[in-house]
C-alpha cells in the first residue's frame, strides 16, 4: 500500500484515477480546488480530500507530507485557452510544475507520474503511421509545447536531483464524468448535442483521425504500473486504433438511435489531421492496455450524460 497524492483529483481523469488507486489498495490524498464541492470519485476511507491551490506553494508543501508518489494531472489551461494566450500556460502550468518538482525533491518523493498529451506533442512530422515514443517531437500548439517542456524538466530533475518520473502521453480519453459543457472532448460534446437534438460541428470533411481510449482503461493501466520499476520512463497511453470523425458520428448515431444534424467548419491551422499512438511499448511490457471497444465506451458515456440531464431536469421540477 502506497501513499499517493493526486493533483487534480476531482477532474475527469483524476477522479477515475482516485477510484483505480483505491481499488488497488493504495492511500490517496485527493488534491483539488476548495471550490470542488461535489466529489466525482467514490467515497472511501482510504481517501483524504485536501482542498488547495496548485499555484500555492504552502498548500502543495503540506499536501506532500509523507507522500511517496505524486500524480500530476493538473492543467490550468485547455488546448483552446493556451492557443489564445500562451503566456498563461508558461506562467502557470510550466512554472507551477517546476515549483512542484522542487518541493518533491525536498519532501523525498519517490516518483512523479505526469499526464502529458498524446498526438499533439508529436506535431507535424509527415508520418502516416502511429507515433512511437522514440519519434521526434515537433509540437506546434502552445498546449503541447507546454506539456513537452514539463516532460523535459522532469528529466532535468531526474539527472540533477535523482527524482524519478513516469511520463504518460495520453491520446484522446473519453468516458463518464468528462465535462461535456466545457467544449473540450469531441465525444461528450457530440453526445450532449445529439441528446438535446442540437447540431454537431465537424471540422473539415470529417476525415480527421484520432486515437480514442476509454478513461477507465487509462486509469486502471496507470494504477497498475506506477510503483513498478518500468523498463522506460515514457509510455504512450491510447487504444492504438485510428478513428475518423465520420466513423465517430456513425457510432454516436447507432448508440443514441437519433438523427444527427451536422454543420461543418474550417479546420484551425494548428490542428493535426492524424494523431494515433503506437502503444506497443506498453502492451509488450504490461499486456493489452485498451480493453473497452469504442462502441461500448460511447454507449456508457451516453448513458452517463442522459443521467446527468435527468438529475438537472428533476432538480428543476
Do 200 and 100 share a structural domain? no
Residue 66, C-alpha cell as written in the block: 509523507
CATH number of the domain bearing residue 160: 3.40.50.720
CA distance 238 to 26: 24
Q: Is residue 149 part of a domain?
A: yes
In tens digits, the chain (317 residues) has pLDDT values of 899 999 999 999 999 999 999 999 999 999 998 876 688 999 999 999 999 999 999 999 999 999 999 999 999 887 778 888 889 999 999 999 999 999 999 999 999 999 999 988 998 766 677 999 999 999 988 999 999 999 999 999 999 999 999 999 999 999 999 876 666 789 999 999 999 999 999 999 999 999 999 999 999 999 999 999 999 999 999 999 999 999 999 999 999 999 999 999 998 877 778 889 999 999 999 999 989 999 999 999 999 999 988 877 766 54
* 3 closest CA partner among 62, 74, 57, 65: 65
Do 247 and 123 share a structural domain? no
Burial class (CB in 10 A: 0-12, 13-18, 19+), 68: middle
Q: Is residue 288 part of a domain?
A: no
Q: Is residue 126 part of a domain?
A: yes
Do 190 and 67 share a structural domain? no
Could you tell me if residue 291 is left (phi over 0), alpha (psi between -120 and 50 degrees) or otherwise beta? alpha
First to last CA, the chain: 46
Number of domains in the chain: 2
Q: Is residue 17 part of a domain?
A: yes
Q: What angle do CA 75, 112, 81 make, to 5 degrees?
A: 10
CATH number of the domain bearing residue 260: 3.90.25.10
Domain that holds residue 229: 3-173+213-237
Name residue, grid cell 486509469: 219
- Based on its alpha-carbon atoms, the radius of gyration of the chain, rounded to whole angstroms, reads 19
Q: Is residue 93 part of a domain?
A: yes
CA distance 167 to 78: 19
Strand partners, 265: 203
Amino acid at each position: 500500500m502506497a501513499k499517493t497524492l493526486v493533483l487534480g483529483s476531482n477532474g475527469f481523469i483524476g477522479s477515475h484515477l482516485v477510484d483505480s488507486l483505491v481499488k488497488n489498495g493504495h492511500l490517496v490524498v485527493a488534491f483539488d480546488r476548495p471550490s470542488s464541492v461535489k466529489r466525482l470519485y467514490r467515497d472511501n476511507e482510504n481517501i483524504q480530500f485536501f482542498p488547495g491551490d496548485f499555484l500555492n506553494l504552502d498548500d502543495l508543501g503540506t499536501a506532500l507530507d509523507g507522500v511517496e508518489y505524486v500524480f500530476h494531472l493538473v492543467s490550468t489551461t485547455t488546448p483552446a485557452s493556451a492557443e489564445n494566450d500562451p503566456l498563461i500556460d508558461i506562467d502557470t502550468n510550466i512554472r507551477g510544475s517546476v515549483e512542484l518538482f522542487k518541493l518533491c525533491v525536498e519532501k523525498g518523493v519517490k516518483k512523479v507520474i505526469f499526464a502529458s498529451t498524446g498526438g499533439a506533442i508529436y506535431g507535424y512530422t509527415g508520418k502516416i503511421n502511429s507515433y512511437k515514443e522514440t519519434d521526434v517531437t515537433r509540437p506546434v500548439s502552445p498546449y503541447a509545447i507546454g506539456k513537452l517542456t514539463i516532460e523535459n524538466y522532469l528529466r532535468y530533475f531526474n539527472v540533477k536531483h535523482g527524482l524519478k518520473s513516469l511520463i504518460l502521453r495520453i491520446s484522446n480519453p473519453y468516458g463518464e464524468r468528462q465535462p461535456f459543457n466545457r467544449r473540450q472532448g469531441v465525444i461528450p460534446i457530440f453526445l450532449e448535442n445529439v441528446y438535446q437534438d442540437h447540431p454537431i460541428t465537424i471540422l473539415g470533411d470529417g476525415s480527421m483521425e484520432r486515437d480514442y481510449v476509454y478513461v477507465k482503461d487509462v486509469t486502471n493501466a496507470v494504477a497498475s504500473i506506477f510503483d513498478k520499476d518500468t523498463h522506460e520512463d515514457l509510455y504512450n497511453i491510447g487504444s492504438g486504433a485510428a478513428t475518423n470523425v465520420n466513423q465517430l458520428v456513425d457510432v454516436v448515431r447507432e448508440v443514441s438511435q437519433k438523427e444527427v444534424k451536422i454543420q461543418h467548419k474550417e479546420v484551425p491551422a494548428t490542428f493535426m489531421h492524424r494523431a494515433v499512438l503506437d502503444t506497443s511499448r506498453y502492451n509488450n511490457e504490461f499486456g493489452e492496455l485498451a480493453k473497452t471497444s469504442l462502441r461500448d465506451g460511447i454507449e456508457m458515456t451516453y448513458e452517463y450524460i442522459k443521467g446527468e440531464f435527468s438529475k438537472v431536469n428533476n432538480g428543476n421540477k
